[in-house]
A and B are shown apart, each in its own frame.
Chain A
């Protein structure tokens, strides 16, 4: 299988298992990944009701190690990491000098190191960025011999607890080493679906055995990238490359919550001048949720206009992700609109095949997050 540029696709350690389970394989960021098994809607709904296993081994797993590794990382991101307690996970973004987003990532304090999970499509770029800017201050270890499994859904904890009872005590956005079927794995209670669940970093050679054990549990079905995308869209999460990129700042992307309080005051990250100014003075455009009336989904790049008339009014933005939300039971989208049009319930139009679909700015997420918090 090749990607659209005709390059050979890489495979994850679970490739054979996906095929055995009847997956339709699709190219994802240079990897051959399962698009779907039974069908996107069934997999999506099963994840929200029960538990689903996703292979996300294409993502980059990196360990940063060093005397002042948290301070070093802070020179590249606007998040607080010097204050991050051991065992806690935090979402952050790598910013460029214009305040744009180079990648979004999850960072867990592993005691004597930081464990970082990067987007597959950004791995090489991010590693070069780390090497160039903090390579002298910390050791960058790429865990290319590990797979990453995401067990997601309300039943995920019951399933995982059969292999490792202590996982019940982990809170949302914490990480710990758990022994699963005699294999030490690094497990983070988090995910990309809005549901409770775990991401499991497992040695590549044990990945298939662990995946089979999890899939043998009655609650668990495999799910592919189609469902992963519809789940994250309903959960209001950004997809790098669609909803955020090097031209969008975290303030525009409605990710200001990920900018630490101390960091706002101190700066010291790329693009701090732009971002701090935007926090104080506001932005011209803002990422919002969009709910259209009717059944027609508006997809990425559909223009967003003022809500007057069948041809739509003046353009005020663009959809960046859109499709059918199986839990919502209708079309859902997100995109950027002029800041003065960003308030929830503002009427807008989404232009699809030359027709204006009546829509409203909607609060994100579309489906409430259901995490395990204290």
Chain B
């Protein structure tokens, strides 16, 4: 069964069978506004937890996206090259950024679950 976890930097990771799908949260896309370009990592790239993994360009500014856990990138969402706005319309679904083979599932376990993340977001406003 898939579990979804969240970071304080507003990434989400959906984990199933040791593979994680990573994107940015609804809150993050709302804060960024219209997204016009997404720079994705290279397939095969290894990254540690918290490493800079992608860059989201909104009309106004560039923002970094960090690896929620360590691992190796296995696939990137090619659709975002032509349709970066998918991140705005479906941040938690079709707007995913990349998939990764997770190095240490313990890192996943220590991330926030949906309830904790919701509380965290509410504490920000």
Q: Which residues of A contact B (CB under 8 A)?
A: 36, 39-42, 44, 226, 229-230, 295-297, 299, 323-324, 326, 353
Contacts and interface: CB of A to CB of B under 8 A. Distances in A.
30 contacts: A39-B34, A40-B34, A40-B59, A40-B60, A41-B59, A42-B34, A44-B59, A226-B59, A226-B60, A229-B60, A230-B59, A295-B37, A295-B81, A295-B84, A296-B37, A296-B39, A297-B36, A297-B37, A297-B57, A297-B62, A299-B62, A323-B60, A324-B34, A324-B36, A324-B37, A324-B57, A324-B58, A324-B59, A326-B59, A353-B55
A39 B31 CA distance: 11
Interface of B: 33-34, 36-37, 39, 55, 57-62, 81, 84
B66 to A, nearest CB: 15
Given A226-B60, A230-B59, A324-B57, A36 B36 contact: no
Given A39-B33, A324-B36, A296 B57 contact: yes
A320 to B, nearest CB: 15
A341 B39 CA distance: 29
A295 B33 contact: no
A226 B33 contact: yes
A299 B61 contact: yes
Contacts of B55: 353
Contacts of A36: 33
Nearest to A323: B59
A323 B34 CA distance: 12
Given A296-B57, A297-B57, A40 B37 contact: no
Contacts of A41: 34, 59
Contacts of A297: 36-37, 57, 62
A41 B88 CA distance: 12
A323 B58 CA distance: 8
A229 B58 CA distance: 13
A295 B57 CA distance: 10
Contacts of B36: 295, 297, 324
Contacts of B84: 295
Contacts of A226: 33, 59-60
A36 B39 CA distance: 24
B124 to A, nearest CB: 13
Contact of A40 (B33, B39, B57, B62): B33
